[in-house]
Amino acid sequence: MPVDVAATIAGFDALGTRMDVAARGIASTAAHLVQAAAMKAAPVGTPGNSTNAPGDLRRSIDVQGPRALSAHAWEAEVGPTTAYGRQRELGGEILPRSARMLAFTKFGTLYVVPRVYQEPEPYMKPALDESRTVIGSAVTRIVAAAIEET
């Protein structure tokens, strides 16, 4: 049975192009699935307990990308744009930057302290963990569609 080498090469080239489009779609889909889960899981403050409005952290969770890393490899970033997003996820000590003490108002009372410890309230990692199964299903669907396309 003769094989049309030129047609076979053209077919593989076309499949490579479709797989690149699929890889970009996978990166975008995965990032937006994680974003949606993180926005649901992000802690929301109480009015008067923060300098930021309740929900600022949740609203700040953004997707950047996807962008090409190399041929057929794509990435996207998901995370908060607020300055305190990492602190809320990981917790830790908050120290003054340029003063000797921290000064803040909480529920109308002024506090002046040398440091504060904030308990972690993870929302990004749980969002990623929660999204893994759905992302896996999306990968299967997107790759199958790219292969089946004529």
Q: Is residue 45's pLDDT more than 90?
A: no
Average pLDDT, integer, range 86-112: 90
Most confident of 2-11, 25-34, 51-60: 25-34
pTM, entire model: 0.83
Instruction: Report helix angle 5-41 to 124-148, nearest 10.
Output: 160
- pLDDT tens digits, residue range 128-143? 999 999 999 999 999 9
As given in the structure block, the two tokens for residue 139 are 């990968």
- pLDDT tens digits, residue range 101-126? 998 888 888 999 999 999 999 999 99
| Other Cβ atoms within 10 Å of 49 Cβ, number | 12
Q: Is residue 49's pLDDT more than 80?
A: no
